[in-house]
Amino acid sequence: MRILFLGDVVGRSGRDALTARLPGLRAQLAADLVVVNGENASHGFGLAPDMARAMLAAGADAITLGNHAWDRKEIIPYLSQEGRVIRPINYPPGTPGQGATVVDVPGGRRALVINVMGRLFMDPLDDPFRAVQAEVQKHRMGQHGTVQAVVLDVHAEASSEKAAFGHSFDGLVSLVVGTHTHTPTADHQILPGGTAYQTDAGMCGDYDSVIGMQKAGAALRFWRKLPGEKLAPAEGEATLCGLFVETDDATGLAHNIAPIRLGGRLSQALPG
C-alpha cells in the first residue's frame, strides 16, 4: 500500500496549499491512502466542518485531530456524522466522535487509522499506550487480516514519548508518525520490526513563522510573559510537510519511507 501522510495544516495558508496541491501530489505518488492532520486548520486553532469537507474533497481519506479538537464547537456534531474525521482515541469514554476509522482503499483493501494524544506536557488524558493497544488488538494486519495497513498519528509534545510509541508498536502497525510540534524531524526510518517511523511530520503552513503563527505576537509572549498577545497564522506560502510510506500487503509492514517537503521556504524533498 502506498501511504501519504501530511502534518498539521495551519491556517488559510496551509489549507490553500493543501487543497491546491494534494490532488496532483496524490496522483504523482499513486497514493492509495492519504491521511492529513487538520487540527490547526481554522486560524491555527481547531477545524471547522467546511474545512474538513474541502480537505476530503481534495483527496484526504482520513483527517486526524489533537489538542485543539474542540476549539471550533461546530465540529462536535460533525464528528458524529463524518467517520473519516477522528479525534484522539484516549479521550475519556463518552467523548463525542471516535479515535479510529477503517478506510476502504483501492483493490478491495482496508486501512486502519488511529489518532492518539500524548500526556507529557499535554492534557492528562487516559493512558495513550493502552488505548492504542486495545484498538490494534481488534484487528489483524496483513493479506488475510481485517486490514492491510495501520497508520498511527501520535499527537504529542515530547519526542521521547513518540519514540516510545514507535518501539512499543514496532511490528504491529505500518506507520507511527508524530504530529503537534510542526517541525519535520530527520529521523524517518524503518524500525527493526518493520514499522515506518518519524518523530514529527512537520506542518502544512508558512515556515517564516513561529511554528505557523505570525512572528511578532508569538515572540512577544516569550519576551513579556504577559497574557493577551494575540496569535494569528502566518500568511506566506506554505510548505506541505509529511512523509510517504510503502508497505507490503502480505504483512502490513513497511519497506520504504521518504520525507515530503513541497513549496514554501524549506528545502524540497519528494520520493524518487
- Catalytically active residues are 68
Burial class of residue 44, CB neighbours in 10 A (0-12, 13-18, 19+): buried
Q: Parallel, antiparallel, or unpaired: how do β-strands 100-105 and 109-117 relate?
A: antiparallel
